[in-house]
A and B are shown apart, each in its own frame.
Chain A
Amino acid sequence: MTQHSRDMSRRRLLFGGAAVGAGVLLAGCTSNEQTPTEAQTKAADGNANAEPGKQVTIGFSAPAADHGWIAAITNNAKAQAAAYSDVEFKTVEAGADAAAQRAALSTLISQKPDVIVLLPHDGKELNSFGLEAMQAGIPVVNLDRAFPDAKAYRLQIKGDNYGMGVSAATFIAEQLKAKGVSNPVIAEIAGMDELELTQERTQGFNDTLAQHGLKVQNRRAARFTADSGQQEASQLLQALPKIDAIWNHDDDQGIGVLAAISQANRSEFFMVGGAGSKKAMEDIQADNTVLKATVTYSPSMASSAISLARLIGQSRGMSDLVELQVPKEIVLASETITKENASDYLKLGF
C-alpha cells in the first residue's frame, strides 16, 4: 500500500508538472498578433463638415457575432468615431439575441445620447425599440438590417443584398458569353438560408440569370463559416462533374469553398465571391485560384453611419448635396471587384 501510494504521488507529481508545463506553453500560444486590418475610415479633409462642431454623443450597438464582417463593422465604427474630436462614442454589448440587445439598448436610452447607431440582430424584432427611441427624441441610425416601420428610424444605411445577386449574375453572364459557352452549368453556394438577406441575394441572382436565359443547376446553403463552406462545396462538386461558374455568397466561407475545390483538383470553372474580404481581393489580384471576382457588401457602411450620425447630431447636411439635412435612406451599391480594380478596393477589404 505504501509502495502504491508513493508510486501514486510520484505519478501525480509527474502529471502535475507536465500539466503545468503544457498550460504555460499553451497560454503563450494564445498570443495572436495578426497583421492588423486597417479600419476603413474617412479622414477629415477640406470640406466644411470636417470642422469640429457641437459635441455629439453617439451610442452604438452591434451583435457580438463571430464573423469577420460583423467584427469589421464594430472596428470601423470605433475608428471613425475616434477620427472626430467632437464625437463621444458609447458602445453597449448587443448580447446573443434580439431580446438581450433590447435590454442593453434600454440602458443606452437612459444615458440620453444625441444619436443611436444600431445594427440590430433582427430589424423586425427591434422595430419597437426604434420607435421608442425616436419618441424619446433620440434619432436612430439603422445600420444594414431595416426596421419595417419608417417612423422607427431617422436614417437607414444598408448594403444591397438583391444587388449583390444582380452583380454576381451579370459578371457570370458576361464571362460565359465572352467564352461562348452554350448550356453552362451554374452552381450557387449560399449563406445561412434562414436569413432574409440570403433569400434576397439568391432572388437577385436568379432574376438576373433568367434575364440572360440562364439558371442555377444546383444550390447548397452553408453557414457563413469556412468549415461549412468546405463541406457544402465538396458535395456540390460531387453532384456536378462539370461546372462553368459558381457564385459563393460570402468570402469568409469562401476560404473553405476554395479549399474544397483545390482538394478535389477541380479548376474547369470560375468563381465569384461575395462581401469583399481582404483575402478574397488578394486572391483575385494574384489570379492563381478559380476566384475571379467578388461583389461587395462593404462593412465600410459602419464608418459612414458614424459620420452621418455626427452630422445628424449637429443638424448639418451632406456638403455635396443641396439639402440642409442628411437624407433618410442610403443603399450602398454592390460593386464588382475583378483583377483590374482589386488594387483600388484593397483598402476597403476586411
Chain B
Amino acid sequence: MSERPPTATQLPAQSPPVDPAETEAAGHRTPSPTPPSAGRLSWWHGDGGEGAKRNLALIGVLLALFVIGAATRSDLYSNPDWVWANMLSILKLASVVGVVTVGMTFVIIGGGIDLSVGAIVALAGVWCTTVATQSFGAGGMIFTAIIVGVAVGLVNGTLIAYGRLVPFIATLAMLVAARGLAAEISQKQTQISQNSTINGIASTDLLGIPLLVYILAAVVAAGWVLLNRTTFGRRTVAVGGNPEAARLAGINVKLHTLLLYALSGLCCGIAAIMLTAQATSAQAAMANLYELDAIAAVIIGGTLLSGGRGTIVGSLLGVIIFATITNLFAINGLSTEAQNMVKGGIIVAAVLIQQIQFGSLSQFFRRNRLTTS
C-alpha cells in the first residue's frame, strides 16, 4: 500500500488514464515531486528540499523577532531566567492554536478548508464544562470534548464528501451553527470548570516545561508522522493535489475527505480541553477567530491553499511566529491595533515572498526534470 503514493518517478506510470496535458496544465496542483536527482532521502528528510528552505526562512523571521525583542527590552532580555520563562510563555500561547493548526494543515493539504474550527473548540469546550459532564470527572470531560470535536468534524466531512457541499460553505454554516448550539447549551453564561485535574493541565510543569507544551509537541509529532510516514498522509497529498487522479489511482476520495475533517475535529477537541484548562472556564464566544489564526499560520508555513502541498513544521513555525509577535507587542506595551496590522502585513509578505522565490524555484525544477527525462 505504502508504495502507491506518487513519488516523482512513479506518478507517470501510475496515472495513465489522466490526460498528461491536463496534469501539466494543472501545474502547481500536482503533488510536489521530489527532485529526481535527490535519489533516496534519509528518513527524516520528509518535507523535501523546498519545504526545508521555506522553514529555514521562517526560522530566520523568528530569530529576527527575538533580536527586535532583545533590542527593545534589553532590561528584560538580560535576565536568562526571564528569557526562558518568556520562551515557555510564547509556546504556551501558541499551544492551543498550534493543535488546531495541525488539523487545519491536513484539511488544506487535502484540498479543503475548515472555517468552523473556532466554533468547534467553543462547542466542545462548553459541552465538556456543563454541570452534567463535570459530574463525570476529568475523564468524562476529556472524552466529551474529543467526541464532540470528532462528531462535528464528521458532520462537516459528510456534508462535503457525500453532500457535495463546497467546503467553504459547509464549514461556514457549521461556524454559525456550532456557536449557536454552544450558546444554547451554556445559556450564554461563562461556565466555570471546577475540576482541578482539568485546570491543572494548564498549571502543571514536567521537568520545567509546561504540560501544554508537551501536548503541542505530541500532536505536532503525531501529525508529522501521519503526513510524512503513512499511507494516510500520502493519500492526503494525492487527494489535494489532483482528486481525479487520486480516484483513478484507487483512493476512496470521499472517505478520505470525510476522515480529514474528522481529524480536524479531533484536534479541535484536544484544543478545547487545553483552552478550557487555561481559562478555567468555557463559553460560547471562546476561541474567537481561531479559524483565521490557524489558516494564516498554515499559509505562512508554506502550505498551498489550493491543496496538494504543505508541511506540518511550517505551520507550527507560523503559529509560533504569530505568538512571538503578540509577545513582542505585549512586552513593549504597544497597542493591539498595531499588532493586528503587523500580523496582516506578515501574512501578505510571506505569501508574496513564497510566490516570487519558490514559485520560480519550483518552475526551475520542473523544467530541469523535463529536460533530463
Contact = CB atoms under 8 A, between A and B. Distances in A.
Interface in A293-325: none
Contact of A22 (B147, B192, B285, B286): B147
B344 to A, nearest CB: 16
Contact of A30 (B82, B132, B179): B132
B76 interface: yes
A32 interface: yes
Interface stretch (B49-57, B160-168, B325-333): B325-333
A276 interface: no
Nearest to A35: B131
Q: Interface SS of chain B: helix, strand, loop or mixed? A: helix
Given A29-B130, A226-B286, A238 B85 contact: yes
B188 A71 contact: yes
Contact of B199 (A22, A68, A234, A259): A259
Nearest to A96: B176
B281 A256 contact: yes
Contact of B336 (A31, A193, A224): A193
Interface in A21-41: 22-23, 26, 28-34
Contacts of A252: 190, 283
B171 interface: no
Given A29-B144, A30-B132, A193-B337, A259 B187 contact: no
B197 interface: no
A228 B96 CA distance: 12
B288 interface: yes
B190 A26 contact: no
Interface in B291-348: 326-327, 330-333, 335-337
Interface in B185-211: 185-192, 199, 202-203
Given A235-B89, A235-B93, A241-B76, A217 B333 contact: yes
B279 interface: yes
A69 B236 CA distance: 45
A191 to B, nearest CB: 12
A255 B280 contact: yes
B93 A231 contact: yes
Given A30-B127, A31-B130, A71-B187, A227 B192 contact: no
A330 B286 CA distance: 34
Nearest to A224: B285
A68 B89 contact: no
A113 interface: no
Contact of B89 (A23, A28, A238, A255): A238
B333 A31 contact: no
A229 B279 CA distance: 8
Nearest to A234: B89
B113 interface: no
A67 B188 contact: yes
Contacts of A224: 285
Given A30-B127, A256-B279, A259-B280, A238 B190 contact: no
Given A32-B186, A66-B179, A239-B330, 19 more contacts: A22-B151, A32-B131, A64-B188, A193-B336, A219-B333, A220-B330, A226-B280, A230-B279, A231-B278, A231-B326, A234-B92, A235-B327, A235-B330, A238-B331, A239-B333, A241-B82, A252-B283, A256-B280, A263-B203
21 contacts: A26-B151, A29-B136, A68-B189, A70-B188, A71-B187, A193-B335, A193-B336, A223-B288, A226-B280, A228-B288, A230-B278, A231-B278, A238-B85, A238-B86, A238-B331, A239-B331, A239-B333, A255-B280, A256-B280, A258-B280, A263-B202
Interface of B: 76, 82, 85-86, 89, 92-93, 127-128, 130-133, 136, 140, 144, 147-148, 151, 179, 182-183, 185-192, 199, 202-203, 275, 278-288, 326-327, 330-333, 335-337
